[in-house]
């Protein structure tokens, strides 16, 4: 009994040590994104890039600016991560269909490595493209142009969903043509079995005829012949079994890929609708001069509550409904913080006036617009980073639960995110501020895959020391590499954990 107890303690300590190492890998890549993201945010909130946003506060109002910035940033985050997931699914589907799939470690690693790199690169590229587009729209057409672009994009996504589903089915049919190698192997095995049966039948017939004619057969030769035939039968049976297992495994992974694509295309099509509706209505109030009126609070709160009740009370609640409501609430919070920032300026001016330090109305208005714009950009960008991290964590958690290999997902996601982080740093001058910001959000999404896999691995641990060691490694790695940004890390880790434990499929 004492030996068993000591053995159990050793196993728990070993699991805790391994979990801590894996957690530290996921935490370090999360912390590594903190400094580049903070730097690009400082650039975006400097006087030059912030000027177009400040000029538009008077047009759409503080509430309109907050909801519009929040909806745009969250839509960018959701679109880029889903674009990466879909690209990864396409690469994995083509790999499985054209090159086949078996349970060998090399084939397994090649499949997930190619899909993981494609997904991370697609997320970064999509984020950079959307960031450049948003920066160009704001500079040339202001917030009204951004509102129109967001509205048109939201309206186009549901029809594009059907187009993509049609293209996906056509792609599956084309890829199925590449699976002829496995069917040819099956036919070859069947032909070999038939030939062997014919050969054995002939040998038996010859032996019977020899015995009937009074001849004799060599016992040694017969044994050798039957042993050879037995080896051939065993080899054919082994090949047949391997082919059937590979075909079953290929069909299983292809079905899972199809499920992932369908769910994420639905998510892309519908999740942005709630927060876009809120942004359109609040911006509309701002355009008519009621951006800061008290009635807008009531309308906004009632609208958010009504949409959330309708979606969350649905009998068949889906992942896009849940995340869409979260995005809508996040946009509402960003709007409140944006308005609050301007009101703080007014309160401060009133206190200064009471103390005998008068400020002109123009100075107060300019300061209000500046603080509102600064708060809108800061909170919208941070909200987009949280959503990007969370959606990436949902992917990483699902991969671990699908038995993709927690070590491969954690280390692979961290490696790819680290490589992309270096690539963004090199390409930053060519991407510009908006492109760099979008690309870095994509890198955060790739890091989220590793963090989510770490959280899922902690949930799969067989002992409390293993789970605590994994979570401890994640937190310590994130804080250490993230230069002890305790508030940011403290908000990001729980969000990543919640998304990682959520099953979107």
**For residue range 81-122, what is the model confidence (pLDDT) as tens digits?**
888 888 888 888 877 776 655 555 566 667 777 888 888 888
Confidence band, pLDDT 50/70/90 cuts, at residue 269:
confident
Query: What tokens were used for 223?
Result: 């044994």
Q: Is the pLDDT of residue 64 over 50?
A: yes
Residue 297 dihedral angles phi and psi, to the nearest 5°: -60, -45
Q: Is the pLDDT of residue 333 over 80?
A: yes
Q: What is the pLDDT of residue 1?
A: 44
Dihedral angle computed from the Cα positions of residues 123, 127, 133 and 139, in that order, rounded to the nearest 10 degrees: 180
Q: Is the pLDDT of residue 233 over 80?
A: no
**Greater model confidence, 96 or 436:** 436
pTM exceeds 0.85, yes or no: no
Q: Which of 252, 288, 244, 214 is closest to 64 using CA atoms?
A: 288
Q: Is the pLDDT of residue 340 over 70?
A: yes
H-helix segments, 33-46: 34-44
328 Cβ contact list (under 8 Å, min separation 6)? 274, 275, 278, 304, 307, 308
Report how many helices (DSSP H) and strands (DSSP E) the chain contains, helices first: 13, 0
Q: What is the pLDDT of residue 413?
A: 86
Q: What is the pLDDT of residue 208?
A: 62
Q: Is the pLDDT of residue 228 over 80?
A: no
Q: What is the pLDDT of residue 3?
A: 46
Q: Are 410 and 25 in contact (CB under 8 A)?
A: yes
Which of 22-26, 245-249, 399-403, 408-412 has the lowest average pLDDT? 245-249
Confidence band, pLDDT 50/70/90 cuts, at residue 230:
low
Q: Is the pLDDT of residue 313 over 50?
A: yes
Q: What is the pLDDT of residue 166?
A: 81
H-helix segments, 288-318: 294-312
**CA-CA distance, 426 to 348, in Å (whole number)?**
43
Confidence band, pLDDT 50/70/90 cuts, at residue 280:
confident
Residue 318 dihedral angles phi and psi, to the nearest 5°: -115, 170
**CA-CA distance, 409 to 413, in Å (whole number)?**
6
Q: What is the pLDDT of residue 4?
A: 46
Q: What is the pLDDT of residue 267?
A: 84
**CA-CA distance, 450 to 111, in Å (whole number)?**
17
Q: Is the pLDDT of residue 17 over 70?
A: yes
Confidence band, pLDDT 50/70/90 cuts, at residue 319:
confident
Which of 189-198, 212-221, 361-370 has the lowest average pLDDT? 212-221
270 Cβ contact list (under 8 Å, min separation 6)? 157, 158, 320, 321, 324
Confidence band, pLDDT 50/70/90 cuts, at residue 468:
confident
| Mean pLDDT within 223-234 | 65
Confidence band, pLDDT 50/70/90 cuts, at residue 309:
confident
Which of 224-238, 355-369, 407-421 has the lowest average pLDDT? 224-238
Q: What is the pLDDT of residue 113?
A: 78
Q: Count other Cβ atoms within 10 Å, centred on residue 466.
A: 23
User: pLDDT digits over 355-410, tens only?
Assistant: 767 777 777 778 888 888 888 888 999 999 999 999 889 888 888 887 667 888 88
Q: What is the pLDDT of residue 308?
A: 87
**CA-CA distance, 496 to 397, in Å (whole number)?**
10
Residues in the chain: 505
Q: Is the pLDDT of residue 155 over 80?
A: yes
Which of 130-134, 150-154, 280-284 has the lowest average pLDDT? 280-284
Q: What is the pLDDT of residue 199?
A: 64
Q: What is the pLDDT of residue 292?
A: 62
Q: What is the pLDDT of residue 195?
A: 62
Q: What is the pLDDT of residue 7?
A: 46
| Mean pLDDT within 456-466 | 81
Q: What is the pLDDT of residue 2?
A: 43
């Amino acid at each position: 009994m004492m030996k068993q107890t000591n053995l159990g303690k050793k196993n728990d300590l070993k699991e805790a040590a391994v979990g801590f190492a894996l957690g530290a890998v996921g935490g370090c890549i999360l912390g590594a994104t903190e400094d580049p993201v903070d730097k690009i945010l400082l650039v975006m909130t400097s006087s030059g890039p912030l000027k177009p946003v400040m000029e538009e506060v008077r047009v759409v109002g503080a509430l309109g600016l907050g909801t519009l910035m929040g909806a745009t940033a969250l839509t960018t985050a959701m679109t880029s991560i889903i674009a990466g997931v879909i690209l990864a699914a396409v690469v994995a589907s083509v790999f499985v269909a054209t090159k086949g799939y078996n349970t060998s470690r090399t084939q397994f690693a090649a499949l997930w490595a190619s899909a993981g790199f494609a997904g991370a690169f697609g997320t970064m590229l999509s984020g950079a493209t959307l960031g450049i587009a948003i920066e160009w729209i704001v500079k040339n057409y202001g917030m009204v142009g951004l509102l129109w672009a967001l509205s048109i994009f939201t309206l186009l996504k549901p029809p594009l969903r059907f187009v993509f589903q049609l293209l996906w089915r056509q792609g599956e049919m084309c890829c199925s043509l590449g699976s002829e190698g496995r069917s040819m192997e099956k036919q070859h095995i069947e032909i070999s079995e038939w030939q062997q049966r014919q050969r054995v039948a002939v040998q038996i017939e010859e032996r019977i005829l020899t015995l009937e004619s009074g001849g004799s057969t060599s016992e040694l030769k017969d044994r050798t012949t039957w042993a050879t035939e037995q080896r051939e039968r065993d080899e054919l049976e082994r090949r047949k079994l391997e082919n059937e297992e590979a075909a079953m495994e290929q069909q299983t992974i292809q079905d899972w890929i199809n499920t992932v694509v369908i769910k994420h295309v639905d998510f892309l099509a519908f999740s942005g609708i709630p927060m876009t509706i809120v942004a359109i209505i609040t911006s509309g109030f701002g355009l008519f001069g009621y951006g800061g009126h008290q009635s807008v609070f009531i309308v906004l709160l009632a609208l958010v509550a009504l949409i959330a009740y309708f979606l969350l009370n649905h009998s068949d609640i889906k992942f896009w409904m849940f995340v869409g409501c979260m995005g809508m609430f996040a946009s509402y919070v960003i709007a409140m913080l944006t308005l609050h920032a301007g009101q703080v300026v007014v309160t401060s001016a009133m206190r200064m006036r009471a103390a005998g330090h008068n400020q002109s109305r123009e100075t107060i208005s300019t300061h209000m617009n500046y603080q509102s714009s600064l708060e809108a950009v800061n909170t919208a960008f941070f909200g987009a980073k949280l959503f990007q991290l969370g959606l990436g964590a949902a992917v990483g958690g699902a991969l671990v639960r699908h038995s993709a290999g927690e070590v491969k997902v954690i280390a692979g996601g961290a490696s790819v995110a680290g490589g992309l982080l270096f690539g963004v740093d090199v390409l930053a001058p060519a991407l510009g501020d908006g492109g760099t910001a979008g690309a870095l959000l994509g890198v955060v999404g790739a890091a989220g895959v590793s963090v989510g896999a770490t959280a899922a691995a902690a949930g799969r641990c067989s002992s409390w020391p293993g789970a605590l060691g994994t979570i401890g490694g994640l937190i310590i790695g994130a804080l250490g590499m993230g230069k002890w940004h305790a508030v940011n890390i403290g908000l990001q880790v729980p969000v990543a954990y919640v998304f990682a434990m959520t099953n979107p499929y």
